[in-house]
Structure 1
Amino acid sequence: MKKYSVQKAPFIVPTTDGKLIEEHHGKASTNNDEISIAHMVAPPYWCEPFQTPTFEEYTYIIRGKKQFIIEGEIIVLETGQSIKIEKNTRVQYSNPFDEPCEYIAICTPAFSIENVNRED
């Protein structure tokens, strides 16, 4: 039995907002409930609703900038920066800038639509 697995075909999450989500490891791609690792590209002027996830989320910015509103505080990450957001924290993710933002997101336990708790 192999002690590793190489992901060559990430699950492409269907979106309607122009955001690219390639889940390399997680519930949808590898049936892993413990962690999800996704490569994402948020288009310019993209925005998600506020949410209060029941997972920790780590974000690393590969290129561009991404805005976070965390418990009312605005934080902007730039290329080469990263952040960890604790579970049960109200947050909004957006790219209000005029260039795409490419980043890696890691969630523990794994992301699922049931545990993200998006607001309407």
Structure 2
Amino acid sequence: MKKYNIQREPFLVPTDDGKVIEEHFGMASIPGDLSIAKMIAPPGWSEPFQIPEFDEYTYIIKGKKQFIIGNETVVLGEGESIRIKAGVRIQYSNPFLEPCEYISVCYPAFTIDKVNREEN
């Protein structure tokens, strides 16, 4: 039995908001304890507020991404990263003019039923 997994064809998660999600490891691709995805959020993109049941680590490759964490707004740019702990109310968005390319790592692995998105 191999002691490693190589991901050459990440799972392209279907979206209806213009966001590109390539899951390299996670419940939709190669299941495990965590998920790793490369994402591109187009200008003007946003998600509803949510209270995830997992820690999420984000590393910005290009562009900027906005985080509303509780009542605080944080903007990260290229080369910066953040950890959002499970149980924190957060909204992710890209209100800027350029796309934002980033890596997201979730532990435990992302599942849609553990995101707990608020209804608009």
> Aligned AA for 1:13?
V
- Measured after TM superposition, the shift of residue 4 of structure 1 is 1.2
Instruction: Calculate the TM-score normalised by the size of structure 2.
Output: 0.98
- Measured after TM superposition, the shift of residue 60 of structure 1 is 0.0
Q: Within 2, Cα distance between the matches of 1:103 and 1:72?
A: 23
Corresponding residue of 1:78: 77
> Aligned AA for 1:35?
L
> Aligned AA for 1:3?
K
What is the identity percentage for the equivalent residue pairs of Structure 1 and Structure 2? 64
- Measured after TM superposition, the shift of residue 31 of structure 1 is 2.1
Q: Compute the RMSD of aligned alpha carbons.
A: 0.6
> Aligned AA for 1:66?
K
Q: Within 1, Cα distance between the matches of 2:71 and 2:51?
A: 13
Q: Deviations over 1:24-81 (max 9, x none)?
A: 000010122x100000000001000000000000000000000000011000000000
Corresponding residue of 1:111: 110
Q: Find runs of 4+ consecutive structure 1 residues off by over 3 angstroms.
A: none
Counterparts of 1:1-120 in structure 2, within 5 Å, are: 1-32=1-32, 34-120=33-119
Q: Deviations over 1:83-114 (max 9, x none)?
A: 00000000000000000000000000000000
Give the match's secondary structure for 1:102: strand
Q: Within 2, Cα distance between the matches of 1:5 and 1:36?
A: 13
> Aligned AA for 2:103?
I
- Measured after TM superposition, the shift of residue 3 of structure 1 is 1.6
> Aligned AA for 2:81?
S
> Aligned AA for 1:100?
P
Q: Within 2, Cα distance between the matches of 1:109 and 1:23?
A: 14
> Aligned AA for 1:59?
T
> Aligned AA for 2:55?
E
Q: Which stretches in structure 2 are left out of the alignment for 5+ residues?
A: none
Q: Which stretches in structure 1 are left out of the alignment for 5+ residues?
A: none
